[in-house]
């Protein structure tokens, strides 16, 4: 699986820890920044990750006419202080379904029902262990398809 990551200064420390844990599992996420705790603008990183996820034509929902159940082949991970700003910025891109999650249940449901392709975390709201559990659930949960396909198509048409 291809995983693109990005954070602002508030999410930098948590992102580094999650990248280390992913590497221990054999994953090779591509970090698009920031690379320091110096104050920076979260939209820059949200847009960079969203563009990369969209340009890789292997997400499970590829267009409003082609929706298939399954695991993601390309995913994004965004982290800022609350997760709200990153969510808003990433969701400005047609085809991106960025989900701010605070627990594993939300991570499972956003994948099963909404085919979320970017996970957003708030570094000031959850700890490292919970963040990693949420990330693992997100990456390992398949989109269920079925009745949810039509709902996603309606989102894409808005």
- This prediction has a pTM of 0.93
To the query of whether residue 9 is one of the catalytic residues in this protein, the response is: no
Tokens standing for 111? 């994948």
**Per-domain boundaries in the chain:** 2-157
In this prediction, residues 127-138 reach a mean pLDDT of 99
Where does the pLDDT of residue 69 fall: very low under 50, low under 70, confident under 90, or very high at 90 and above?
Answer: confident
Residue-wise pLDDT tens digits, 10-55? 999 999 999 999 999 999 999 999 999 999 999 999 999 999 999 9
Q: Which of 9, 102, 113, 148 is catalytic?
A: 113
- The residue from 9, 80, 101, 110 that is catalytic is 80
Q: Kindly report the CA angle at 7 between 132 and 22, in degrees rounded to 5?
A: 35
Note if 113 is an active site residue: yes
Query: Of the CATH numbers 3.40.1400.10, 3.90.600.10, 3.40.50.2000, 1.10.287.980, which one belongs to the domain with range 2-157?
Result: 3.40.1400.10
| pLDDT confidence band for 75 (50 / 70 / 90) | very high
* Whether residue 130 has a cis bond before it, omega within 30° of 0: no
């Amino acid at each position: 699986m291809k995983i693109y990551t990005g954070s602002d200064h508030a999410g930098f420390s948590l992102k580094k820890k999650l990248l280390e844990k992913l590497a221990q599992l054999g994953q090779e996420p591509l970090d698009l920044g920031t690379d320091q705790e110096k104050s920076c603008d979260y939209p820059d990183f949200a847009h960079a990750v969203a563009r990369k996820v969209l340009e890789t034509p292997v997400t499970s929902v590829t267009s409003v006419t082609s929706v298939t159940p399954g695991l993601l082949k390309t995913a994004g991970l965004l982290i800022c202080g609350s997760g709200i700003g990153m969510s808003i910025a990433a969701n400005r891109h047609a085809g991106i379904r960025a989900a701010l999650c605070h627990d594993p249940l939300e991570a499972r449901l956003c994948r099963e029902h909404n085919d979320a392709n970017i996970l957003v975390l708030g570094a000031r709201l959850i700890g490292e262990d919970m963040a990693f559990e949420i990330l693992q659930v997100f990456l390992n949960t398949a989109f269920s398809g079925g009745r949810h396909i039509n709902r996603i198509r309606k989102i894409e048409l808005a």
